[in-house]
Structures are given as C-alpha cells and as structure tokens.
Structure 1
C-alpha cells in the first residue's frame, strides 16, 4: 500500500440521516466515504469499488446484517466490518463478533467513538496487507541504480525512461541473470505508480495446480483446502505494478484468463461468479523466444501480441564486457558494507574480461562474493575465483606480458569463432561455411569453448 493511500469506508444503514452525517463528517483528503441504504446496494457497490472498512447496521430493509456480514467475510477477506446495533440486539452483536466482525457499536453513539473504531480497524487492514505484500517482495531488494556505460546499456536506459511514465505492458527479454528484474524495478521506480506496490512473481516457481488461485485469488470452498477466501496477486498489485517473470511457464488456460485481464482490467477469482475490477500495470519477462513458442502452440498467440506492445531486449554480459569493471566496482562496494574494502588484481580483471559469463551479471556478483570470502589482505586473486575462471590460463595458455596478453591457439580460435558468429548474427550455418568446417564440428567447438 502507498504510504498516503486514503482510507476507503462504506457505511451501510437504512437511516438516511446517519448516512448523510457519516458522509459529511468522515470525508476528507485522507478518507473516501461511500454509503448504501440496503444490503443489495452495498453488495453491488463492493463489486465495483475496493473498500477497507465497512460500517454495517445489523437491521436492513432487505436483509439481515449478519447474513451480509457472512457474505462480506467470504468475498472480501481484506476488509474489516464494524457492526452497528441497538441496545436490544447485544446477543446478535456477540454473534457477529464470532462471525468475524472487527467490533460493534451500540446506538446511540458519538461520531468520535465511531471514528476511533474505524481508525483502529483500518490500521489492522493496513498491517494485514503490508504483511502479505512483504511475503511477495522481501526477497527482491531494489538496486539503487542501473550499472553500465556501454552503448547497449545506455540505449536500454533511454528506453526505460520513455516507457516508464506510460501504462503499456512491457516485455523484457534476455538470458537468465542478465538483469530483467533490475529493469522491471527501474520502470516501476520511474512510473506514476512508484508509491504503490511492485509485486514480483516468478511463474516458474508456481505449482501448476495453484497458479490460477495464486494470481486471481479464490473464494471459500472453491476447492479442497480452501477454508477461507484469499486475495490473489492481482488484488495485491491494485494501483501498482505486477511483474511476472518467466511468463512462458504459464499454462495455456491461465494465459487465456490473463489475456482477459489485460483487455478489460477485470478478473474472476476461483469459485467466484462475479467479475472484479482492478487497476494494474503489467511487466513481463522471459528467456524464451515467445514467437517460437507461439508457432509451437505452447504460448497463446493473442496474449503474445498483447504483451509485446513494448519490448526491451537485454544483451548478455559477454556482449557488453566494457561494463565489467563498473559492475565489479559496484559489487565490491555493495558486498563490502560494514567490512574492509576489497580490490582485485590485474590478472583477475583480465580473467574476468576473458570469461564468457553464461550466468551473466548474476554470476559475476556470485564470483565477487566468493572472491571476497577467499581474499587475502583485501586482495582477490585467481585462487579466490571459481575453477572455470581461475584455470583459463592453464587450459588456454594465456600469459600476461606487460599490458598485452599473449594468447594460445586455443584462445585465438575461440575469439575468431566469436567474431564470425557476431558477423553472421548468430547464424550457425553461415558461420560454419565462413570457418570452412562442418556444422557438427562447429557445434562441438561451441560446446568446448562454452559459447553455446
């Protein structure tokens, strides 16, 4: 929830004077107040409008307040209900408390008394929602800035600045570890929704049978084990941003439901017959080729075109190696917090620049963390690097001579293959023709050099 999000109150009472007085006295820049004179009117309103606290008269012209309370508890798990009752209905009020009401107030009552109870109920609502938000965001700590000075990264930063203020969906593509979550966080941080929640969920971590209920929520009794209603990620992200990583992992039937949300900003919880309105900005990420997934009938074509309004393709670290020194400096500073600072030797920097980084920026961070643990006298040496980096010299024959490395035939061949692949834009058939070798030989060498 945003720090200054207004409290949303619904007053349900058949006495017009009470409704009018509550609307007049409680409405201010920090509180929005709606009123309803009947159970039907109240239920229709909460289907269209999210509320935080409901003040409910126990006697209504078209129904019993206790029955309406049960409906609210089943369909609005994040809302607190305060019961208004007369002196002769104390037993009903006690029954209401057992059914999940936050508190009850007897008539006649003062506005100060009602305002105090409403405020306490709202604080409980905020605490419950913030705890739920924390469960989905605590493992994702925002990066203070996007690191890199290469032309590729400067272009990405330019595109982020252009798309962030809009509400269009963004599809972030790139290899695992390239920084797709950093881009998502940067877009949210520059958007008009920055004060509202950023909900991040990796679709690959969701159990297939629970994906729909996790995204859309569910009603009590919707399936075995649904002992109470639960809001989904869409509701948590209301007025904020929902970042779905590894979107290609979603089952086709859930993709179709997600398409409906993107089209009209409405959704239906599992077991619910009513559509609900939501205001969410969507960000998506994948390391798959979704166009190929569509051709293979593994991804919904209409959803692909709907989420691919604006695409950001992150280059792998091996294609922007000029950013490595800046990233190393950043990670050493980040990981040295509260500890003596570390630095790396010239030989280590050479090894880092020569490595192909299949795990991209995430792998570089892990290497730096390992190196700091194994550093001697504040210096990270080759002995502190993982074997695949430290043994580059032994297997590739790289020797440092002054400022210029002398490369073995192994390393020269690897670099030549890399340049040919870049020249052919990754077309392996053209690359094998240019190199004068068979495609089978090329595949073998790509695997040998870690260039797959």
Structure 2
C-alpha cells in the first residue's frame, strides 16, 4: 500500500460514506471518510490526500467554501463535488473556482470511480510537470560503478536504508559522486515513482532562499506580486535531495528543522502551517560538526539530518575502481557524442590509475571527455591525455598495470562476491550481461 493514493470523502449521509469506502477502496486507493466539514478539514490538515470528494451541502459548512480552502492549501489536489440539489449555476461556479468535476445524486458508482481515477491522473501529471519545472536535477552523470571495498560497503548501506523513510546525510569531497548515491537511494526506495526534487543550496539566492524552500503569499515581501509554492510543496509525497546543505543560512535552518521534526511548514506571509510528507536526502562537502562548533550550523538540525550517514571516499582511496569507471564513462560518452565505442591503451590506463585525482570522479570524467575529442583512430593513448597526468605517471614509475590483468581481477572478484551470479556481477561492474559473458570466456573464468 506504500504507493497507494489517498481519497477523502466528506458527506453527512453515513450510508454513502460506508458505500464509497467499501466499494472504492483497493490496493491502489485508500479511502478515508468524514461526516462533517469540521472533521473533514481536520483530517485534511493532518494527512495528505490526492483527491477530495465532498458533498456541496453539509450541516456545518458549504462545499464551495471548502473547495476554496482545499485548493488554496494544496493547489495540486483535485476536488470532486457531489450534491442532491445540483443546478447549472452551482456547477459553473464550482468549475470556475477549481473543482475537477461535479456529480449529482443519485449517482452511479462506476461513474464516481471513473471521475476519481481521472482526477488522480491529473494530480500525477501536475506534480510531474511541477517537479520538472522546479528541479535543477539532471540525469545522474554515472551510476555507482566499482567493486572496491568502500563501494561494496556503500552499496550495502544503500540497500539497507533505501526502503525506509530515514533521512540520509551523504558526505565526501567535491566530485566524489554524492549525487549518484542520492539517485541510487531514490531508485531503490518505495517512493521511486513519486516526485524527486534536487536542489543545490549553494545555487539558491540567500535573500530568496526561504521563499524557494517554503513558498510565499502575495505581498509577503517586496517583489512578491503573486503567491508561489516552494520546494516543500513540489516534493510532497516524494523525496527532496538538498545538496551542499552546509550552505543553508542559519536563519532558514530553523524552518527546515520544523519540517523534519513535525512534518509541518509555513509559507512566508501565511498564518497556518501545512502538513507535508517528504523523505529527505542531504549531501555536503563540509565538516558539519566543525560548522556547528563555529556557530554556522544549527546543532539540533545537524543531529536530525545525520541520522544515517554514508561517507563517499575520494577516488585516490579506491584506485582499483578506475579501470571500471573508465570503461563505464567511455561507453556513455561514446553514445552521447555519437562516436563509435573507443578503446584505451594500457599505458593510458596506467596514467589514469597512478594519478591522485584531486577533483575526484568529476575530474576523471572531464579528462575522458577531452581525451575522446583528441583520440586518433578510435584509440585513447597518452597523447590524448593532459600532459600533467602523463608526467605524473612518469615520475611515479613503478609497475605498469595491464588493463586486461586489472579487468580479469575485477571480474573475478565480482563473480566471487556475488557467488557466481553473472547478472548481479554485471550490474556491479557497470557492464552489460553479454559483455560480461564475452570477458568471462576471454579470461577463462567460466
């Protein structure tokens, strides 16, 4: 029931409530009920609903007034009004205010179910469109490639924490792939079909940061000519990944802490708080414990976001993954640049493996992009690599690593780790199953 959507039915006739709850509840749809406007509004404020079905005439309230309250609080929900006293004027007014549809009693149950299902489909479409417009996310530059001990540990941690709703703090130097870890958690979570909003706090304008996160009402500050939702609204029911969380100003951190502790937030200029259901992922290249000591980061917020930590090591601490990363990136880049699959010489791989990569995986990816452009005859040689890498490799001396030897060792380790399961080994190595079969035969590992 984790991915089921929720419907709230408000009607003063107990028989209708029982009927709709019994007949409309499925594995994909949760139906809740309320006999009065007051109870309906209370339930609505405490729990997230996707579609509201309300009688237009209630003993303690008017359906049109409730429609306005629902749409003001959550513009992306849909409201269906039902009445036994329908007329064209009420219908036109309801649609003008924002009702999805208008049904009259007595109604056909099939018709009600069809309208609710279509209303929910519109909700999904609106959320997808808003997520796309307000997210600066891009497709992850890479998947989690590697078979080193640190990467195995990260994959294990992701596997344990992804299905939960626990907040995750991803730490590590700039360029190590913290965003890839976040995307992997999202893909393996139970919210993987819900909105996934990505925002780098370092790119937010400080004077507008509170508005970006929580939204604002018209006139709440100079320049606020209309009301706007923030990231909390767009990420509702899904996942919000805040990268470089250490860049968030202290004056905004308290509002984020409130969301984490109570699942409530308030738009700028708004009196009432809103309920929200979000799974949070955070990342930082800063030492937040030191930031707390220096008074630049809220200590209570630090403890709330540091519930489950995944530390991503720099590339220099897992150099055995470099040949796999090189193969992975060359495959992706060849497709993106519309080039035939390039190969790379053993000496070029040695240069890449010997280098310390202060810019981590981001630097490796940039070097490979440059090398593809300079490659002659579909082969990347030392001549296509930056001079400092080649000179560094020459200064290092030492053993020349054979690409085939490294490949054979990594494939053998992957097969051993996954008890001979070739499909899992291929995924861990970042290569296709057919490619793995060819390499197993080539290296005599069958």
Q: Is TM (by shorter chain) over 0.5?
A: yes
List aligned pairs for 1:239-318, cutoff 5 A.
239-318=237-316
Shift of 1:284: 1.5
List aligned pairs for 1:27-426, cutoff 5 A.
27-85=25-83, 89-135=87-133, 139-142=137-140, 145-219=143-217, 222-223=220-221, 224-225=223-224, 227-228=226-227, 230=229, 232-337=230-335, 339-386=339-386, 388-389=388-389, 392=391, 398=395, 403=400
Shift of 1:378: 0.5
Distance 2:305 2:396 in 1: 49
Distance 1:158 1:65 in 2: 51
Shift of 1:72: 1.6
Which SS does the other structure have where 2:304 is aligned?
A: helix
Q: Conserved in 1, the CA contact under 8 Å of 2:347 and 2:400?
A: no
Q: Conserved in 2, the CA contact under 8 Å of 1:76 and 1:229?
A: no
What is residue 410 of structure 2 aligned with on the other side? none
Distance 1:345 1:399, change over 3 A: farther
Shift of 1:402: 9.5
Higher-Rg structure is 1
Distance 1:25 1:350, change over 3 A: closer
Distance 1:58 1:340 in 2: 64
User: What's the TM-score once normalised by structure 2's chain length?
Assistant: 0.78
Distance 1:402 1:295 in 2: 45
Q: Conserved in 2, the CA contact under 8 Å of 1:11 and 1:55?
A: yes
**CA deviations over 1:123-156 (Å, ceiling 9, x no partner):** 1111111222334568432577522233333343
Distance 1:227 1:107, change over 3 A: farther
| The 10-residue stretch of structure 1 (153-162 or 241-250) with the greater mean CA deviation from structure 2 | 153-162
What is residue 442 of structure 1 aligned with on the other side? none
Shift of 1:85: 4.2
Shift of 1:254: 1.6
User: What's the TM-score once normalised by structure 1's chain length?
Assistant: 0.78
Aligned residues: 398
Shift of 1:21: 2.8
Distance 2:225 2:48 in 1: 22
Shift of 1:78: 1.0
Distance 2:39 2:217 in 1: 21
Distance 1:208 1:302 in 2: 21
Shift of 1:248: 0.5
Shift of 1:11: 2.4
Structure 1: stretches of 5+ with no match in the other structure: 405-452
Q: Conserved in 1, the CA contact under 8 Å of 2:142 and 2:329?
A: no
Which SS does the other structure have where 2:65 is aligned?
A: helix
Distance 2:394 2:86 in 1: 93
Which SS does the other structure have where 2:255 is aligned?
A: helix
Distance 1:363 1:37, change over 3 A: same
Distance 1:227 1:13, change over 3 A: farther
Which SS does the other structure have where 1:14 is aligned?
A: coil
Which SS does the other structure have where 2:54 is aligned?
A: strand
Shift of 1:360: 0.9
Distance 1:368 1:198, change over 3 A: same
**CA deviations over 1:1-20 (Å, ceiling 9, x no partner):** x9x83332222333334333
Q: Conserved in 2, the CA contact under 8 Å of 1:10 and 1:53?
A: yes
